[in-house]
Amino acid sequence: MPEVILIISGVLGFFLLVSALVAWLTRDLLVAVLATAAAGLLVSLFYLILQAPDVAITEASIGAGLTTGIFVYVLSKTERYEK
């Protein structure tokens, strides 16, 4: 069973790195916000693997949900693309 957890952690880590790079390198701010939300959800899955479900729920709801909603609202009031 620990091998499965190690493989899942490696895959999650890879996708977390990819989503962080997308958020960093893109010029489209909406894509950056969505990549940040994906990173937040992946971090919450890491917390589930570490058997901390309360922290995972908090990270998913605040880190990925509420923050993404606020960023999308702000982007609707400003320009979508970075200059």
Check if the beta carbon of residue 22 is closer than 8 Å to that of residue 42.
no
Position 65, amino acid: G
* Residue 22 located in a structural domain: yes
* Residue 65 located in a structural domain: yes
**Which structural domain, as residue segments, surrounds residue 68?**
2-77
Check if the beta carbon of residue 43 is closer than 8 Å to that of residue 20.
no
* Residue 39 located in a structural domain: yes
Structure pTM?
A: 0.87
Please report which residue ranges of the chain form alpha helices under DSSP H.
Answer: 2-25, 29-49, 53-58, 67-77
**Number of domains comprising the chain:** 1
* Residue 82 located in a structural domain: no
* Residue 83 located in a structural domain: no
Q: Which of 21, 20, 35, 17 is nearest to 71 (CA)?
A: 35
- Residue 51 DSSP label: T
pLDDT of residue 10: 95
- Consecutive 10-residue runs of the chain (83 residues): their mean pLDDT? 90 96 95 95 94 94 92 92 78
* Residue 25 located in a structural domain: yes
